[in-house]
Amino acid sequence: MLVHGSWQGGWCWQRVAPRLENAGHRVYAPTLTGLGERAHLASPAVDLETQTLDVVNVLRYEDLADVVLVGHSYAGIVIPSVVNQVPERVGRLVYLEAAMARDGESLATLLGPELAAGLEQTVNEQGDGWREPPVPLELLQVTDPDDVAWMEPKLTWNMYAPQIQPVRLDNPAAADVPRTFIWGDDATGAHEASPFFPVWKMFLERAEAEGWPIETVATGHQSMVTAPGELAETLVRIATP
């Protein structure tokens, strides 16, 4: 199961999902409430619990078990919340350059004071106090004109509440689910030049400190768009016993 990050939707996995299916895997790519094709459901009431249930309910109603649950970027907040509720349905968590939150932390906490303050200001000045516009794609290392033309019209505003709500990780059974971290090993320098890079690097360092397996994909933050083949191969390798 592939869970997208900020401003996106299940659509962002369109270049990866067919490759995983061709390798014999069953693929789900749910869109979180208020984003993508579910943008009409956006409201100040949507929070982390809402978006956690988006994924939990797919697992329950599709009667899935031993799932490799992949979260990209912001979804690093969502996937541990999911496994906290249904650890029996998840075989492994995969953090695709994703937020590494501990119990009681929020995404805003992880951003640090400067970026969190900038986020709050943007939300208040541009988003009526509850939503956030997309950032320029170049900050996510998406610069190819065809990629930009494909992604830009589909980007939707984030809701603020899920980003400031602390994650709750209080189920001891969830701690037994193994984790893997995937890092974007971009040699061009664009990755490192992003203002978000220190935060992404902190996620990697937390994963290393936890002793998780670390995989690398030779691209930037948006690997499902810029390096879908390599990412799919990496995910197949992770999912193979």
The string of pLDDT tens digits covering residues 44-76 is 999 999 999 999 999 999 999 999 999 999 999
Contact between 214 and 127 under an 8 Å Cβ cutoff? The reply is no
Contacts of 168 (CB under 8 A, 6+ apart): 81, 84, 103, 104
**Nearest alpha carbon to residue 42 among 130, 119, 126:** 130
Q: Tokens standing for 65?
A: 């078990």
241 pLDDT higher than 90: no
Q: Which of 6, 73, 81, 194 is catalytic?
A: 73
Q: What is the domain class of 2-239 according to CATH?
A: alpha beta
pLDDT digits (tens, 9 = 90+) for 179-223: 999 999 999 999 999 999 999 999 999 999 999 999 999 999 999
Which residue is associated with the tokens 């830009």? Answer: 152
What is the greatest pairwise CA distance in the chain? 49
pLDDT number for residue 202: 97
pTM: 0.97
**Nearest alpha carbon to residue 112 among 221, 181, 183, 202:** 202
Q: How far apart are CA 1 and CA 180, in angstroms?
A: 14
Query: Quick check: is 81 catalytic?
Result: no
Contact between 53 and 75 under an 8 Å Cβ cutoff? The reply is no
**Nearest alpha carbon to residue 39 among 101, 131, 110, 146:** 131
pLDDT number for residue 67: 98
Neighbours of 85 (CB within 10 A): 19
pLDDT digits (tens, 9 = 90+) for 99-148: 999 999 999 999 999 999 999 999 999 999 999 999 999 999 999 999 99
Q: How far apart are CA 199 and CA 87, in angstroms?
A: 27
Q: Tokens standing for 4?
A: 């997208």
